[in-house]
Amino acid sequence: MSKPIYVLNGPNLNRLGTREPQIYGSTTLAEVETLCREAGGAREIVFRQSNREYELIDWIHEAIDKGAAIIINPAAYSFTSIAILDALKMFPGPIVELHISNIHRREAHYHKSYVSLAATAIIAGLGAQGYAVAVKAAIDLAERSG
């Protein structure tokens, strides 16, 4: 039996669909979850969101023991959380960092992601569809890494 793909979402992503739609689009987090499950096919997807840093870290720890890959949209924690970086550095499998917007076309404080230091791959600027791309990539990376 294959290990699941963990899709972890950080602060304010529960407001997708209504939060700054000109940047993040109108797709809700529930719709993003559906995209992920469809892209994953038969592969188990563990899909979670939290506004709490410690909870994201606990889920990364869970993925260390149970997961094949992590897709993480750490949102604002991308640019502030060394604790999340440290947790991700312990994960032995592929890590896909995901951003709905292209963070490199935004204000300067969005340009340096700590999470990128642990990421196997980075997807940014594809909107909500980036999640489907990330799931397919994570599955492929996990299968190639054994």
Q: What is the pLDDT of residue 1?
A: 66
Residue 109 a catalytic site member: no
Among residues 24, 77, 114, 131, which one is catalytic? Answer: 24
Q: Say how far apart CA 48 and CA 141 lie, in whole Å.
A: 21
CB 96 within 8 A of CB 122: yes
Q: What is the pLDDT of residue 26?
A: 83
Q: Compute φ and ψ for 71, nearest 5 degrees.
A: -110, 125
Q: What is the pLDDT of residue 108?
A: 66
Residue 99 a catalytic site member: yes
Q: What is the pLDDT of residue 105?
A: 67
CB 106 within 8 A of CB 22: no
Name 135's Cβ contacts closer than 8 Å, sequence gap at least 6: 5, 7, 35, 36, 39, 40, 43, 45, 71
Among residues 6, 77, 99, 131, which one is catalytic? Answer: 99
**Angle formed by the axes of helices 53-66 and 82-89, nearest 10°:** 0
What is residue 48's DSSP assignment?
A: E
Tally: H helices and E strands in the chain: 5, 5
Q: What is the pLDDT of residue 109?
A: 61
pLDDT of the chain, 146 residues: tens digit per residue? 699 999 999 999 999 999 878 878 789 999 999 999 999 999 999 999 999 999 999 999 999 999 999 999 999 898 889 999 999 999 999 999 999 987 776 566 665 789 999 999 999 999 999 999 999 999 999 999 86
